[in-house]
Amino acid sequence: MTTLDINQIIDKAKATPFLVHIVVLGCLCSIIEGFEMIVLGMIIPNLAKDWGLKPEDFEYAHLAVLFGILAGSIFAGILMDKIGRRKSMLLMFGLGTIGMGVSFFLENMTQLIILRFLTGLGAGGSLPIALAIVTEYSPKKVRNMLAVLVYAGAPFATTVGGYIGPHFIEMYDWKGMFLLGFMMSLPIFLWMVFFLPESLKYLVAKEKNTEKAKKLLIKVDSSITIAETDRLFINEKSIAKSPIGALFSEGRSIVTFLLWIAFIGGQFIVYFMSLWLPTILQNNGWEQNLSLNAIGHYYLGAGIGGIIIGWMADRWGSAKVLAIAFPLAALLYFWLGQVVDDPDMWFIIAPFAGAVSVGAMMAKAPFAASLYPTTIRGTGIGTAMGVGRIGGLLTPGVGAALVAANVTAAQFYNIATIAPIICASAILVILLITRKKKFGIDNIQ
The helix/strand count (H/E) of the chain reads as: 18, 2
Q: Residue 361's closest CA among 25, 52, 127, 67?
A: 127
Q: Within 13 Å of residue 305, how many CA atoms lie on the same side as its CB?
A: 27
Q: Are 429 and 258 contacting, i.e. CB atoms less than 8 angstroms apart?
A: yes
Q: Is the dihedral of CA 370, 371, 376, 377 positive or negative?
A: negative
At 194, the pLDDT band (50, 70, 90 cuts) reads: very high
How many Å separate Cα 293 from the centre of its chain? 22
pLDDT tens digits, residue range 206-257? 777 678 888 888 888 888 878 777 788 776 665 555 667 777 777 778 889 9
Please give the Cα distance from 257 to 126 (Å, whole number). 23
| Residue 437 confidence (pLDDT) above 60 | no
What integer pLDDT is reported at residue 441 of this predicted model? 44
Q: Residue 280's closest CA among 112, 405, 418?
A: 405
Please give the Cα distance from 299 to 150 (Å, whole number). 14
Domain segments of the chain: what residues?
3-443
| Residue 191 confidence (pLDDT) above 80 | yes
> Which position has the higher pLDDT, 80 or 318?
80
- Beta-strand (E) ranges in 170-215? none
| CATH class of residue range 3-443 | mainly alpha
Burial of 143 (0-12, 13-18, 19+ CB in 10 A): buried
What integer pLDDT is reported at residue 207 of this predicted model? 75
* Angle in degrees, CA 13, 19, 25, rounded to 5: 160
- Read off the pTM: 0.77
Q: What is the mean pLDDT of residues 94-122?
A: 94
Q: What is the mean pLDDT of residues 348-368?
A: 85
What integer pLDDT is reported at residue 379 of this predicted model? 82
Q: What is the mean pLDDT of residues 422-434?
A: 85
Q: What is the mean pLDDT of residues 64-75?
A: 88
Please give the Cα distance from 75 to 12 (Å, whole number). 32
Q: Are 61 and 109 contacting, i.e. CB atoms less than 8 angstroms apart?
A: yes
Q: pLDDT above 70 covers what percent of the chain? A: 94
**Cβ neighbours of residue 204 under 8 Å, at least 6 residues apart?**
6, 213, 232, 233, 234
> Which position has the higher pLDDT, 320 or 119?
119
Please give the Cα distance from 118 to 92 (Å, whole number). 10
Instruction: Give the 3-state secondary structure of residue 250.
Output: coil
Q: Are 206 and 11 contacting, i.e. CB atoms less than 8 angstroms apart?
A: no
pLDDT tens digits, residue range 308-342? 888 888 888 777 888 899 999 999 999 988 888 88
**Cβ neighbours of residue 52 under 8 Å, at least 6 residues apart?**
none
Please give the Cα distance from 214 to 232 (Å, whole number). 8
